[in-house]
Amino acid sequence: MEFDTELLHGGISEDEATGAMSIPIYMASTFHQKKLGQNKYEYSRSGNPTREALESLMATIEHGQAGFAFASGLAAISTVFNMFEQGDHFVVGDDVYGGTFRMIDAVFKNMGMTFTTVDTRDLAAVKAAIQPDTKAVYLESPSNPLLKVTDIQAVAAIAKGQHLLTIVDNTFASPYVQHPLDLGADIVLHSASKYLGGHSDLIGGIVVTKDPELGAKVGYLQNALGAILAPQESWLLQRGIKTLALRMRAHLANAESVFKYLKARPEVAKIYFPGDTDNPDYAVAKKQMHGFGAMISFELQPGLDPVKFVENLQVITLAESLGALESLIEIPALMTHGAIPREVRLASGIQDELIRLSVGIEDVSDLLADLDRGFAAIQ
3-state helix, strand, coil in the chain (%, to 5): 35, 15, 45
Residue placing its CB nearer to ligand PLP in the complex, 101 or 268: 101
Nearest distance from C-beta of residue 338 to ligand PLP, angstroms: 14
Nearest distance from C-beta of residue 323 to ligand PLP, angstroms: 8
Nearest distance from C-beta of residue 74 to ligand PLP, angstroms: 4
Name the residue among 298, 295, 261 with its Cα closest to residue 275. Answer: 295
- Active-site annotation holds for 272: no
At residue 240, the 3 state secondary structure works out as helix
Rounded Cα distance between 74 and 89, Å, is 19
Rounded Cα distance between 202 and 323, Å, is 12
Rounded Cα distance between 209 and 12, Å, is 17
Residue placing its CB nearer to ligand PLP in the complex, 130 or 294: 294
Residue placing its CB nearer to ligand PLP in the complex, 205 or 306: 205
Q: Which of 97, 138, 176, 195 is catalytic?
A: 97
Give the nearest residue (CB) to ligand PLP.
73
Sheet holding 89-93, edge to edge: 66-70, 205-209, 187-191, 165-169, 134-140, 89-93, 114-118
Nearest distance from C-beta of residue 98 to ligand PLP, angstroms: 9
Q: Which of 169, 186, 276, 281 is catalytic?
A: 169
- Active-site annotation holds for 26: no
List residues binding ligand PLP (CB under 6 A).
72-74, 97, 99-100, 140, 144, 169, 171-172, 191, 193-194, 203, 205
- Active-site annotation holds for 194: yes
**Cβ(271)–Cβ(259) below 8 Å:** yes
Q: What sections of 264-363 are H helices per DSSP? A: 282-288, 306-311, 342-347
Residue placing its CB nearer to ligand PLP in the complex, 72 or 234: 72
- Active-site annotation holds for 210: no
Nearest distance from C-beta of residue 91 to ligand PLP, angstroms: 17
Residue placing its CB nearer to ligand PLP in the complex, 73 or 231: 73
Q: Which of 45, 127, 249, 286 is catalytic?
A: 45
Active-site amino acid positions:
45, 97, 169, 194
